[in-house]
Structure 1
Amino acid sequence: MKKYGFGVDIGGTTCKIGLFEMNGTLIEDWEIKTNTENKGASILDDVAVAIEGKMQSAGIAKEEVQGIGVGVPGPVTGDGTVLQCVNLGWGEFNVAEVLKKRTGFDVKVGNDANVAALGEMWQGGGKGHKDVVMVTLGTGVGGGIIVDGKIVAGANGAGGEIGHIMVNEEETDTCGCGKKGCLEQYASATGIVRMAKKLLASDDRETTLKNVSELTAKDIFDAAKAGDAVAKELVEKLGKVLGNALANVACVVNPEIIVIGGGVSKAGSILIDVIQKHYVETTFHACRKAEFALATLGNQAGMYGCVQMLLDM
């Protein structure tokens, strides 16, 4: 009997849902609105209704479904308990238990960055590897660490929070997490723009960046590719900070491959090359051979990873 799985990546605005064959083939994906009213009380019921509707329209029987994998924007413990999801309005409760009771299916739950890492390991940029570090460079910096094919979640579900590694103890600005000097303040899309604004305010050099009214990370990388010296300096700084941080991570988990994803990764080889250069310069000699690759699954990585979690059931 062919088995199916549902991958549900719950975000603050939409829930991405995918119907998969358990060999990793995505059959269909769609989105529903994430209803955060009343502290997100209806989110899981909305997900259940969407899945039941898809099963009916696709003619899939209950016994053909292996389970539902769920990714959420917050720390998750091994039994599927979410400790807090601010973007959804959720406090602490067992998501796996609630959704299983509602649908009758086995449910696995993981942090959204962690499941994205699993997805990239299974069918994306890290395919063919079992020891993977995934870094997502978006508005913030997310991460996922996989050792021997398994996510390293940690005691409180905070394993892989690479974005909050301390990289500058002299930083005076505060990170979103409340600390100062986090990697996220330099290597995210907002981080490189923050660095650029500081530099432009104190630097008299000619640069095309001064002509951009609403500066973005893409503007900076495009200018660097065109040879702008100030933009190249900013990209170099991002690469150094992130490469050094990843060198430290590698000393703990010794990955085969480091996968870079998120919106900033669209910069392509200019980003990968500068990160890898600084990584090789600073990491422990036995870790230097780690490959670097761009993520390939985009916004679907989380759905893939959610289904990958079901393979152990």
Structure 2
Amino acid sequence: MDQFCFGVDLGGTTVKIGLFTVDGMLQEKWEIPTRTENQGAAILSDIAASIQNKVDVRHLTKEQVTGIGIGVPGPVLNENRVQGCVNLGWGNVCVADELSALTGMKVKAANDANVAALGEQWQGGGKGYQNIVMFTLGTGVGGGIIQNGQIVSGANGAAGEIGHMVITEPENVVGTCGCGHQGCLEQIASATGIVNLAKRQLTECDEASILRQYAPLTAKDVLDAAKAGDALACRVAEQMMQALGRAAAYIACVMNPDVFVIGGGVSRAGEYLTEGIRRYYQQYAFHASAETPFVLASLGNDAGMTGAAGMVCNF
């Protein structure tokens, strides 16, 4: 009898759901809207109804479904409880217990960035490695840590908050990070941070730059211009890659991963980005871990639901 599992990636706008075989092969994926009204009271029941519908359509028995994994946008304790997901309207919610009661299936929950890292370790850019650290470079900077094939969530579910490492002096960044500190990695290496740094450069100097023609300016514009040799864009890109290389070197002193995986929208800059990070990483890294490779994530938007499924399939 074929065995399956469901992976759920719960976001503030949509819920991505995938049906997987237990060896990680995606059979089908779909989305439903995330209804955040009334403090997100309908979210888990909507997910349960969508999964039950798929079970019915595919004529699956409960014995064929190993379980459901779910990634949520907030710290998770004991693969079950979140203590607040602001963009969902949630306070203290026992996600796994409640979804299990609604479906009659085993459920495990984890932070969304951590399950994305697990997805990349299981079926993506980190496949074949047991110890990975993933940087997710998007609007913010997220992270995930996998050690011996298991998510590292920490005492309060906050392990992997790489973006809030204070990595530089306040004068080197623009404004204050969303966490309240200044000098966070997120202020330099996120898409938002890259744009802010470029705008400051454009304001503070009269240097000719292709970036002056863009309105609105995006991180992709900055990195494309850097790859094309624009001097101002290159300075911004180097500042960003230096910060990421330094952060990776600090992490390696503690965790010593097999590989660093770079994902998120900013990672579309490709090998230009990974090679730049690696160059700075080797300047700062302890000699025993200086050759740790940097690879690009490969699962894209499927990483979260893939890792969520992996929690109940193999781990």
TM-score (norm 1): 0.98
1:32 is paired with a residue whose SS is strand
Q: Show the counterpart of 1:20.
A: 20
Q: 1:1-313, aligned counterparts within 5 Å?
A: 1-171=1-171, 173-312=175-314
Q: Does the 8 Å CA contact 2:20/2:27 hold for their aligned counterparts?
A: yes
Distance 1:287 1:232, change over 3 A: same
- After superposition, what is the alpha-carbon deviation per residue over 1:204-236, rounded to whole angstroms, capped at 9, x for unaligned? 211111111100001011111211111111111
For 1:222 and 1:95, the matched residues in 2 are separated by 41
Task: Identify the range of structure 1 (195-204 vs 133-142) with the bigger mean alpha-carbon deviation.
Answer: 195-204
CA RMSD of the aligned region, Å? 1.0
Measured after TM superposition, the shift of residue 307 of structure 1 is 0.8
SS of 1:214 mapped into structure 2: coil
* Letter in structure 2 aligned against 1:162: I
Whole-Å Cα distance in 1 between the matches of residues 56 and 8 of structure 2?
18
1:257-277 deviation per Cα after TM superposition (whole angstroms, max 9, x unaligned) = 000000000011111111010
Q: Deviations over 1:161-180 (max 9, x none)?
A: 00000012334721111111
* Distance (whole Å) between structure 2 residues aligned to residue 17 and residue 38 of structure 1: 22
**How many residues are paired up?**
313
| Paired amino acid for 1:70 | I
Unaligned runs of 5+ in 2: none
The one-letter code of the counterpart of 1:187 is A
Deviations 1:229-266 (A, max 9, x none): 11111111100011101110110000110000000000
Counterpart AA for 1:178: G
Question: Which amino acid in the other structure matches residue 101 of structure 2?
Answer: K
8 A Cα contact 1:244 1:279, kept in partner = yes
Deviations 1:101-141 (CA, angstroms, capped at 9, x unpaired) = 11110000000000000000000000000010000000000
Distance in 1 (CA, whole Å) between partners of 2:223 and 2:170 is 26
CA contact (8 A) 1:79 1:94 kept: no
CA distance in 2, matches of 1:281, 1:156: 32
Structure 2: how far apart are the matches of 1:178 and 1:232? 28
Per the alignment, in what secondary structure is the counterpart of residue 70 of structure 2? strand
Specify the code of the residue in structure 2 equivalent to 1:91: G
The CA distance in 2 between the partners of 1:3 and 1:283, in whole Å, is 44
CA offset at residue 79 of structure 1? 4.0
Q: In percent, how many aligned pairs have the same letter?
A: 56
**3-state SS of paired residue (1:125):** coil
Q: TM-score, normalised by structure 2?
A: 0.98
**Rounded Cα–Cα distance in structure 2 between residues aligned with 1:170 and 1:40:** 37
Query: 2: CA distance between counterparts of 1:312 and 1:80?
Result: 18
Residues 134, 144 of structure 2: 8 Å contact kept: yes
Q: What is the one-letter code of the residue matched to 2:163?
A: G
Q: What residue ranges of structure 1 are gaps of 5+ in the alignment?
A: none
Could you tell me how far apart the structure 2 residues matched to 1:71 and 1:173 are?
Answer: 30
The amino acid of 1:32's aligned partner reads I
